[in-house]
Amino acid sequence: MSEPAGILAIDAMGSDLGPSEVVHGLALALKKKPALDGILLVGQEPLLLSLLEAEKVKDNGRVRIVHASEVIDMDDRPLQAIKQKKDASMLRAIDLVKTGQAKGVLSCGNTGSLMAAGTLRLRPIEGFERPALAAIVPTENGFFILLDVGANPNTTPKQMVHNALLGKYYAQAVLGIEDPAIGLLTIGTEEGKGNELSNKSHEYLKAARGHINYHGLIEGFHVFDRTVDVVICDGFVGNILLKTCESLLINVKHYLTHQLKKNWMRRMGALLCLRAFREMKQQFNPDRYGGVPLLGLQGTIIKAHGSSNATAIQNAIDVGYNMIREHKTSALQDAVAKVNAGIEEL
C-alpha cells in the first residue's frame, strides 16, 4: 500500500453496531457522491478488506485502509484507554490528522476517549482553551445548534463566549446561516436570575456583541421555538438536555405506537396516517444531521452516535467533508483574540 494521503480518516471500529455498519455507511456515501475521495479507513485490515469486498467497494484510491490492531470500547475508561491501547483505530485516525495525512476524523467510538485524544493530540486553535461538542437539534420547522453538549462539563464564562464564537462559525460554514442569532440558556430572561456561571457569561457575551449576534438570555420554553439559531450552555447542561430530549421522544413514540394498536379502528386510522408518522420520525430524527463536531481544535473531529446506522454514518461523512472544506482556523483565531482582549478589559 502506498503512503496514505487522505482527506477524512474514518475510525471503522468503535461503533456499537460493529464495523460492518460503518463500512455500509461509507459504501452508501461513495455511491451517492462519485466525487468523494480521500477516505482513510482505519481498523483491522483483513476484516475491513473483506467488508469492503462484500460492499463491492474497491481499495482504489477513493478508499484506503490504514491498519490498526486495537479497538477502544464504549466501556473503556477514556484516559486509561488512550494510554494503554496505543494502536487503537481511533488514535491512529487522529494521528493521521496530526501528521497532516488527513484533515479530519470521523468516529462512532467512546466519546470521552475521542475528546481527550483529540484535544491532547490536535490542540485547541490559538486563543481557545477547550473544544466544544456542537449538536444540531431538529425542530418542527428546522433545527438549532446546541453547544456544548458534553466536551467540557466545567465550562467557565470565558469558555462560554468561546463556544458562542465556535457556534457562530459552525452555523455560518456548515449550515449557511449568515449572521446566526445566539442565545444563552438560563432559567429566566431577567438578568441575574440564573446561576453564577450564566450571570457572568451573560456579562461577557454582551461585551462580545461586536463579534457575535448575541440575542441574550433564553429559557427552556424557547429552545424549540427557534428564537435563536445557536443555543449555548455549559457541557453539563447541554449533554443532559440533549439526551433527555432524545429519551422523551422515544417515550412519546412508544406510547403513541401502543395507543394506535389498541383496536382495529385506530389501526386503520394509523394506516391512513402512516406517511405523516414517517415524516415526523424523519423530521425529529437526531441522526438526520449526522455527526456532532468537536469544535475549536486544529483539525476536524466528528463524533457520530455510538449506535449510528449506515444512513447516519453517511450523513456524518457529509458533515465531515463540509467541515473540512470550511475550516476557518485563521478567522477564528482573529475573532477569539479580539474577544479575549475585550474580556480582559472588563
CA distance 163 to 173: 15
How does DSSP classify residue 103? S
Query: H or E stretch including 139?
Result: strand 132-139
CA distance 327 to 299: 8
Q: Which of 107, 119, 159, 198 binds its own copies (CB under 8 A)?
A: 198
Residue 34 CB: number of other CB atoms within 10 A?
8
Q: Which of 59, 129, 219, 326 binds its own copies (CB under 8 A)?
A: 219
CA distance 141 to 224: 10
Q: What is the dihedral of CA 208, 210, 212, 213, to 10 degrees?
A: 120
Q: Does 239 bind its own copies (CB under 8 A)?
A: yes
Least gap, CB of 343 to its own copies (angstroms): 22
Q: Which of 32, 58, 193, 325 binds its own copies (CB under 8 A)?
A: 193
Q: Which is nearer to its own copies, 72 or 323 (CB)?
A: 72
3-state secondary structure of 292: strand
Quick one: which segment of 8-16, 203-211, 221-229, 312-320 binds its own copies (CB under 8 A)? Answer: 221-229
Find all residues with CB under 8 Å of 258, minimum gap 6, and list them: none
Count residues near its own copies (CB under 8 A): 65
Report 119-178 residues binding its own copies (CB under 8 A): 139-141, 150, 153-154
Q: Which is nearer to its own copies, 16 or 279 (CB)?
A: 279
How does DSSP classify residue 124? B
Q: Which of 26, 122, 182, 185 binds its own copies (CB under 8 A)?
A: 185
Q: Which of 16, 53, 179, 279 binds its own copies (CB under 8 A)?
A: 279
Enter the C-alpha cell of residue 336.
477569539
Quick one: which segment of 80-88, 114-122, 157-165, 223-231 binds its own copies (CB under 8 A)? Answer: 223-231
Q: Which of 18, 61, 188, 210 binds its own copies (CB under 8 A)?
A: 188
Q: Does 249 bind its own copies (CB under 8 A)?
A: yes
Q: Does 83 bind its own copies (CB under 8 A)?
A: no
Least gap, CB of 65 to its own copies (angstroms): 32
Distances (CA, A) of 129 to 91, 104, 337: 21, 20, 12
Please check whether residue 26 is in contact with residue 43, taking contact to mean a CB–CB distance below 8 angstroms: no
Q: Does 275 bind its own copies (CB under 8 A)?
A: yes
Quick one: which segment of 20-28, 92-100, 169-177, 266-274 binds its own copies (CB under 8 A)? Answer: 266-274
Least gap, CB of 326 to its own copies (angstroms): 29
CA distance 196 to 99: 41
CA distance 155 to 137: 21
Q: Does 220 bind its own copies (CB under 8 A)?
A: yes
Q: Does 276 bind its own copies (CB under 8 A)?
A: yes
3-state secondary structure of 261: coil
Q: Which residues pair with 232 in a beta bridge?
A: 147, 184
Binding site for its own copies (CB under 8 A): 77, 112, 139-141, 150, 153-154, 185-188, 190, 193-196, 198, 219-225, 233-237, 239-252, 254-256, 258-260, 262, 265-266, 268-273, 275-276, 279-280, 283-284
